[in-house]
Chains A and B, each alone.
Chain A
Amino acid sequence: MKGKELLINTIRGEETSRTPWVPFVGVHGGYLIGTTADLYLQSSELMIQGLSKAVELYQPDGLPVCFDLQIEAEALGCRLNWSPDNPPAVVTHPLAEGVALKTLKIPGPKDGRIPMVMETAREMRKKFPELGLYGLVTGPFTLALHLLGTDIFMKMFEDPEGIRELLTFTAEVTSTMAGYYLDAGCDIIAMVDPMTSQIGPEQFKEFIHEPASSVFNFIRKSGALSSFFVCGHAQQNIEVMSQTGPDNVSIDENIPLDFVREVCKKYDISFGGNLQLTMVLLMGSEEDCMQHAWECITTADSPRFILAPGCDLPMKTPPENIRAITRLVNDPYQQEVIQALGKTSSKPELLNLDDYGNIDKVIVDIITLDSESCAPCQYMVEAVKQVAPHFEGIVEWREHSIKDFEGITFMSSLFVKNIPTICIDGKITFVSKIPPKNELIRAIQKRINEKLKSRLRIKPGEILLAGESGEELTELKRKTELALAELGTKLDVRIETGEEFRQNLGVADTPAWISVKYRIRSEGRQPTIEVIKEWIKDLL
């Protein structure tokens, strides 16, 4: 089960197979296709491209059509300041500049960017029938703030009737937008009202309860599902938000998930969100992202939880971070790995492995979850086990299971991030994928060659000068000896004037300068044919 079906079942509290995953791709979609936020949010074509790229990369269960809380405000006359890497910001507030509320009209389907956004929704619906499509509408309070500016906070005390009237109007706008999105084929309407995080539960009940409830009633009557998105420190309002009748509440990293779960349980609704946008998704590593996503899933500990970021993804979030979460969500094995890593609360003291590999033998370390219970780990260990005998005692291998603290210490010391991983002489060589036999042999041989090279440094090579006569080579010999002297090194310089010698080497013209370097590839043992083949290839 995946996509729309999984999301709907999760929201309704029906049976599901796993936690649904909804990366809120907004202007990040523009980043994925190499365009700027301002161009992206004004072009249906670019949004469809960006969202399609997100579907391809992130395999989400659901996506928002457009994450921009300024669409309604713009259609109502607020001026916007566009930015290349953020959604636009509202810079003028008509109601604070003398425009009367009664002159404002509910935006029609052709106003502002509404037709462009709905076109995007329709196309996405056609292109991805299985994807859960979120239509995002600006909540009544945030829209009211766009229209009136921050005076709204004091006017709640100084002119409560006026504010109630304004919120009745903005809620109507919100419902109308929800209707447009539903007509365009969206499955879930998310009413995003982040500014409600700035007021207390008493004010919420007094001012927001009614308008918000009217929006959720409208969505329910239309036969669709709804979500109440809030971001910021809104913990005080989760309960009163739940009382307005949404099917889901989605929150950001500022609110503990277990708290939200308990409140939502009481109101029999679903919940989601909570992934940390900046410190983890934007600035963290893939491993941080997986670890954190797993923490969210386990803290939520509920079949009614939807994994999602706290708000729209920062534009330049590294796609590999989001893909790491996709892997975690879809792959029970990755979950097991993250779980094992997460068990160590203390950071291991790193081993000093600077001199690792400075011995005659080549050491192959396999970092695994545990080769007995994890299939990919088992195959990786098998691969090494099969290859090691080819090198007859030169190669020593060992497995480090991260179920032991020693294993984790070793993993951290070698800066290994993924499981399973093969390190050759302390160097990460194969990550996650099981190398085919010949690739593994080649990698090990390469390391052996490197080691031999360093041993050979003390063995001189030689220089051959080939020509028809000694006289012809006098000048070349002089230069070569000068070069050797300037380098402060000593090598034999041999003169070869035999024709047969030149023919054997394929020397076409004289004088010729030939370097000879001897490499001892094996001593006192019988290398296998496989290994000899690798040595020969090195010569070609």
Chain B
Amino acid sequence: MSQESLLQEIAVCVERGKVNEQSPYPPDLKGQPGADELTRKVLDMGASADQVLSEGLVPGMKIVGIKFRENKIFVPEVLMAAKAMTAGMNHLRPYFQSGEVQRKGTFIIGTVMGDLHDIGKNLLGMIVEGAGWEVIDLGIDVPAVKFLAALEEHPGAFIGLSCLLTTTMLNMERIVQDVRDSRPDAKILIGGAPVTDEFKTKIGANWYSPDPQGAVDFLNKQVS
């Protein structure tokens, strides 16, 4: 199989959530190699890490993001896709560390203080990572100081705030203010079930998206 068709296979594995050969899911690909094996193979054949990322993993995850936005697939499928993506991505880590492959930028995410919900935030992290960004996940219940500290460490990074509760939306507002007080130029994206575009305008965040792919589109536009 040519490098090119292997890269396309990798994209399909990510899209369908095929992790590795042992993985029983999806049933129609049972017994076949997954993102894990195919990534190793194509790297061994001489493909660059950059190619694997931009022609295999990223296109696969982009389709996932779009299908999720269009309600064609749901959380379980996205999580399987992310698992497959991570299996491929693991082979690329040394290249990221050596600086051979550059990511598009850094995205610092966290669920806001007072809120312990992480499904939405995790999905966003996976899809943004799958779009070629470095994702720094600060976890749940994150106060403004932690976002500021991470921003200090990763200058120029974008910040993503998530919340699920109506009450913690108010914390989101406070965090945006606190971050802005110290870093007026910080670029802040917000999301989560109760959040709306109207709310984004009200609290002075830069971008709202009802789905992860919208965040990817916004981020990519900022660096293109």
Chain A residues within CB distance 8 Å of chain B = 81, 83, 85-86, 89, 91, 150, 153-154, 156-158, 198-200, 203, 231-233, 235-236, 254, 277-279, 282, 314-316
Instruction: In the complex, identify which listed stretch (B38-46, B71-79, B90-98, B143-151) lies at the interface while the others stay far away.
Output: B71-79
Q: Is the CB of A282 within 8 A of B166?
A: yes
User: Which residues 37-68 in B have Cβ within 8 Å of A in the complex?
Assistant: none
- A157, B79: Cα distance in complex, Å: 11
**B143: min CB distance to chain A, Å:** 15
Q: Is the CB of A198 within 8 A of B74?
A: yes
**A179: min CB distance to chain B, Å:** 30
- Which of B77, B83, B116, B194 lies in contact with A89, CB distance below 8 A? B116
Q: Is the CB of A314 within 8 A of B167?
A: yes
User: Which residues 118-160 in B have Cβ within 8 Å of A in the complex?
Assistant: 118-119, 122
Q: Is the CB of A279 within 8 A of B75?
A: no
What 14 additional pairs, Cβ within 8 angstroms, besides A86-B114, A150-B79, A233-B71?
A83-B114, A86-B167, A150-B122, A153-B76, A154-B83, A157-B17, A158-B25, A198-B74, A198-B119, A200-B76, A200-B77, A232-B193, A236-B74, A277-B194
Closest 6 CB pairs of A and B: A157-B25, A198-B75, A314-B166, A153-B76, A200-B74, A89-B116
Q: Is the CB of B17 within 8 A of A279?
A: no
Q: A91-B116, A198-B119 are in contact. Are A158 and B24 (CB under 8 A)?
A: yes
- A399, B112: Cα distance in complex, Å: 51
A selection of 18 A-B contacts at a CB cut-off of 8 Å is A81-B116, A86-B167, A150-B119, A150-B122, A158-B24, A198-B74, A198-B75, A198-B76, A198-B119, A203-B74, A235-B71, A236-B71, A236-B74, A277-B166, A277-B194, A278-B199, A279-B196, A282-B166
Q: Is the CB of A203 within 8 A of B167?
A: no
Residues of B within 8 A of A153 (CB): 75-76, 79
Residues of B within 8 A of A277 (CB): 166, 194
Residues of A within 8 A of B83 (CB): 154
Residues of B within 8 A of A236 (CB): 71, 74
Residues of B within 8 A of A233 (CB): 71
Any chain A CB within 8 A of the CB of B185? Answer: no
Any chain A CB within 8 A of the CB of B198? Answer: yes
User: Which residues 75-120 in B have Cβ within 8 Å of A in the complex?
Assistant: 75-77, 79-80, 83, 114, 116-119
Which residue of chain A is the closest to B72 with respect to CB atoms?
Answer: A200
Any chain A CB within 8 A of the CB of B169? Answer: yes
Q: Is the CB of B167 within 8 A of A315?
A: yes
Which residue of chain A is the closest to B83 with respect to CB atoms?
Answer: A154
- A380, B25: Cα distance in complex, Å: 72
Residues of B within 8 A of A235 (CB): 71
Residues of B within 8 A of A83 (CB): 114
- A157, B82: Cα distance in complex, Å: 14
Residues of A within 8 A of B199 (CB): 278-279
Q: Is the CB of A154 within 8 A of B24?
A: no
